[in-house]
Structure 1
């Protein structure tokens, strides 16, 4: 079976063949539209003009109702798009204002650095000088405040260190006194033991003398 030859999509030059093709394709298009309406429960409307300006229409329901729905839908779309357009306009305006403000602030900063001073009048330069002097005064005041705070913190730290040193010195003094007391108590204990030993020895010699005395009495 031979494959069907594919028709090239381009304008048909022969007028008679073009009219025949138009009639066939129009009927096929209306048939497909009817099938779509039935299968999918859709409202379908087709408006078709031929090359000789002849009107052909198809509608699954009332053509007027479908066209009114289409017109109402277009109006709703336009109304829904209006807030977006307004919002976009506001955003564009705000962006332009912010860009202008950023450019102005950048120029002021550069001039405070001594850049881009061309075009300034004497009054402008005088105002710039006043701004620099005011800024310098604030910087100096802030610097003095920071230095004062650092000195205060250092003094507090010094007082704490001195208190800790005093506590350590007192602890060392207590330890030294306790050590001296231990040595003194130990030395006092040795002298007592020596005296007691001497007394014991003297007491041990007494019975011998007593016994010798008794012997001499008996012999006499």
Structure 2
């Protein structure tokens, strides 16, 4: 955040006043040095603190700059006519500015409905046109803001609907998964079918045929 605007008046607190003096004195001396170096200007700065302490800076010498100032001031004082002309010019400009300020203040009062009883029909018509143009601009700005709010709410509503649809799909998916799990638990463990049992007599016949074949095979081998 930037610093707030400091009101230019005497600082009542002695400590704060001394701290501010030290800070701003250093900044002022630095600016004087930068001005003399960057612009090749002859600069002399003299500062006395509230306690009477002297602080000065000069890129040449303070005394030489003061003598030069005295000489220039003496030359300029001889041209009093030029100074008077400048004063008249500034007075004229100040008078014009005061008139403009007075006109603006009068227009503002008329905008608020003050002093309209003394206005002519032409002035009232002109004031009415100004007010209508102002109201039209205000309504246009208001409509732009309202349209922006409406568009924002519509986009927000669409986002909510999409999120609602997504959540509904997730809920349905979870419900189907739970139903399948419940069905599996209700069915119980799977029953596996064992292979059919071989009768005992069939086993005996297989063993006897095996023994008979073996005897025949031995007989054939013996005859051979």
TM-score between the two structures when normalised by the length of structure 1: 0.46
TM-score (norm 2): 0.45
Kindly indicate which of the two structures has a greater share of residues assigned to helix.
1
